[in-house]
A = this chain, B = another copy of it.
């Protein structure tokens, strides 16, 4: 494993992976979309290429020493018909083009980012939503390339991720920011249990998984799930406890989502991996980052 080839390198996870593997001393190729910004890679020791919708645009930097990490995807919780073209393009076509580029250039190892939502109510191959269904559907295509073309693959199914530099206003950051600015937040019943992992732990888990990549012609599946399961209500309490500020939440004002995931699935535990961050670390990091920005801008 000398070369690492990372799709979705402009995304939150992808960008962190690029830095993680450069720091680890590996030769990194960062794949971005055609005409995407290269600015964030300017100071980094990596090669940047663009996927323009063709197989050939992915072939550069792929060879038998390459391990591919496929993070690129399009997420939507509850789709409408308008989401279909991009779901197909990002979650099926991009991935299949990648597999074919690997086949034709001798690369045979791939770690694919899946989602815990491929297992609704604990049943494997039962996607929660169409996003997860396209992930499941793509996993079938990987399995074919494993069987017929001697690929080795891992499908690493993630739960929620977070990080202090995440630009997306996801749940943890949202709750903390509402504590800081004291704006009330309307929520559902809040009994759903979530499992969130710091992005550096995700990067370390991906490294760990790559080192237990199966023999050729096989695909292994793992869920990345920490021991810290909290309901949203428990998480809000933890935040209040950690930052010492009440978070103003109107519970049960919103309906639960259709097919809300009440308990995260962990069908295929990634045994042996040790998480470095606990949830209080994460809350503290995000809070400190928000506070620093507030002081700089005098607002959030």
Contact = CB atoms under 8 A, between A and B. Distances in A.
A55 to B, nearest CB: 5
B140 A133 contact: yes
A133 to B, nearest CB: 4
Interface stretch (A121-129, A233-241, A267-275, A281-289): A121-129
Q: State how many copies of this chain the complex holds.
A: 2
Interface size class, chain A: 20 to 34
A265 interface: no
Nearest to A138: B137
B148 A129 contact: yes
Interface string A120-154: 10000111011011101110110110011000000
Contact of A140 (B88, B93, B96, B140): B140
Dominant SS at the A interface?
Answer: helix
Interface string A54-81: 0100000000000000000000000001
Contacts of A134: 141
Contacts of A97: 84
A126 B143 CA distance: 8
Closest 3 CB pairs of A and B: A133-B144, A137-B140, A137-B137
Given A55-B81, A81-B100, A88-B92, 7 more contacts: A126-B147, A127-B140, A127-B148, A129-B148, A132-B144, A133-B144, A136-B144
